[in-house]
Amino acid sequence: MKTITVFKGDGIGPEITDAVLQILDAAKAPLSYEIFNVGAAEYERHGALIPDDAFASFEKTRLLLKSPITTPIGKGFRSLNVTLRNKYDLYANIRPAKSNTAVKTPFPNVDIVTFRENTEDLYIGVEYKMNEDTVHAIKLITRKASERIIKAAFDYAVAHGRKKVTCVHKANILKMSDGLFLDIFHTIAKDYPQIESDDKIVDNTCMQMVMRPEQFDIIVTPNLYGDILSDLTSGLIGGLGLLPSMNVGDDYAMFEAVHGSAPDIAGKHIANPTALLWSACMLLEYIGETAIAAKIRKAVDEVLAEKQHLTPDLGGSATTEEYRDAVIAKL
């Protein structure tokens, strides 16, 4: 039995969290939970977006299932996600995008996992105003950060029986910065002879992705390209609704849906909990509970394929609870 920390979040967060925890229980996932209200609503109640005891729980369990949080506007808040990434050095942002029978797209064979470096590149946010008409921004690439994200991608490939890792870069122009990332990639690739490796320039990657997405397996890339490419992969599978993610470092791991708190449908019981549920499956796989994760994935696949209990975002009319019960019935 493992204890994990759960952040309930804002908007649809509480609804989808409840559904996911009930499905995990029905699947007999060997988990116990420390559950916290976090986010904008919690800030209104008690004056902190994330209460101290919620941080303390995560620091103890080191595993976090996080539902979306509304980013308060205009109060000088940093994004909570950025805070969590920096505070716990969650350097790998991992997004699997896989085509699904429930969502019709022109791309039925997408199965791409993007490993986005999460701590540096242009996202360190260091910009200098040289004069009224000129600004310099710093793109930071270090050996340490590059090595650990690239190793993480290859280790994931091995652990999940994947075939290929592609490094995406712009080293033809950014010869020193992306050049360093690419050099490190080729060096590390030699340690994984069983995994195919290649590299592609980012603009060509975008074109290839919409023409022949099935050629991609795992992608590893610096922060900015990862941000953009992972949204592109989301589009290939038909939007954010079915996208889980994990943010992982050496000591901590956080699992969350890619979508936000969906305030427009909050409280209406029509939110789709699948992305958060798949994030929970990634957590189960991360701690070695692969059989339980596979059981849940199979149940979800069946419910999605039958199309009898889809939520409105997937063209159905089921409530969150009806969908939840359909998944539980398959279990």
List of residues contacting Mg ion (CB under 5 A)? 227
**Contact call for residue 42 and ligand NAI (CB under 6 A):** no
Residue with smallest beta-carbon separation from Mg ion: 227
**Contact call for residue 148 and ligand NAI (CB under 6 A):** no
Q: How far is the CB of 195 from ligand NAI (least distance, A)?
A: 30
**Contact call for residue 240 and ligand NAI (CB under 6 A):** yes
Instruction: Please choose which of ligand NAI, Mg ion, none residue 5 contacts, taking the beta carbon within 5 to 8 angstroms, the exact cut-off set by kind.
Output: none
Nearer to Mg ion, 196 or 227 (CB): 227
**Contact call for residue 244 and ligand NAI (CB under 6 A):** no
Nearer to ligand NAI, 30 or 267 (CB): 267
Q: How far is the CB of 231 from ligand NAI (least distance, A)?
A: 11
Distance CA 132, CA 94 (A): 39
Could you give the 3-state DSSP secondary structure of residue 331? coil
**Contact call for residue 313 and ligand NAI (CB under 6 A):** yes
**Contact call for residue 44 and ligand NAI (CB under 6 A):** no
Instruction: Please choose which of Mg ion, ligand NAI, none residue 271 contacts, taking the beta carbon within 5 to 8 angstroms, the exact cut-off set by kind.
Output: ligand NAI
Structural element, H or E, at residue 30: none
Distance CA 328, CA 331 (A): 5
Q: In DSSP terms, which residues pair with 134 in a beta bridge?
A: 131
Contacts to ligand NAI from residues 62-91, by CB under 6 A: 68-71, 81
- Write the CB contacts of 172 (distance below 8 Å, at least 6 apart in sequence): 201
Q: What angle do CA 199, 200, 201 make, to 5 degrees?
A: 135
Interface residue with ligand NAI, options 85, 148, 259, 330 (CB under 6 A):
259
Nearer to ligand NAI, 36 or 216 (CB): 36
Distance CA 121, CA 42 (A): 32
Could you give the 3-state DSSP secondary structure of residue 196? strand
Residue with smallest beta-carbon separation from ligand NAI: 260
**Contact call for residue 235 and ligand NAI (CB under 6 A):** no
**Contact call for residue 256 and ligand NAI (CB under 6 A):** yes
Is 117 within 8 Å of 146 (Cβ atoms)? Answer: yes
Instruction: Please choose which of Mg ion, ligand NAI, none residue 227 contacts, taking the beta carbon within 5 to 8 angstroms, the exact cut-off set by kind.
Output: Mg ion
**Contact call for residue 17 and ligand NAI (CB under 6 A):** no
Instruction: Please choose which of ligand NAI, Mg ion, none residue 223 contacts, taking the beta carbon within 5 to 8 angstroms, the exact cut-off set by kind.
Output: none
Cβ neighbourhood burial of 312 (10 Å; 0-12, 13-18, 19+) = middle
60 φ/ψ sector (left φ>0, alpha ψ -120 to 50, else beta): alpha
Can you point out the beta strands (E) in 132-257?
Answer: 134-137, 164-169, 196-201, 218-221, 244-248, 253-257
Cβ density class 202-227: b for 16+ within 10 Å, e for less = beebbeebeeebeebbbbbbbbbbbb
Instruction: Please choose which of Mg ion, ligand NAI, none residue 81 contacts, taking the beta carbon within 5 to 8 angstroms, the exact cut-off set by kind.
Output: ligand NAI
Among the residue ranges 154-162, 261-269, 300-308, 321-329, the one whose residues contact ligand NAI (CB under 6 A): 261-269
Q: What is the DSSP letter of 94?
A: E
Residues interacting with ligand NAI, by CB under 6 A?
A: 12, 68-71, 81, 240-241, 256, 259-265, 271-272, 275, 313
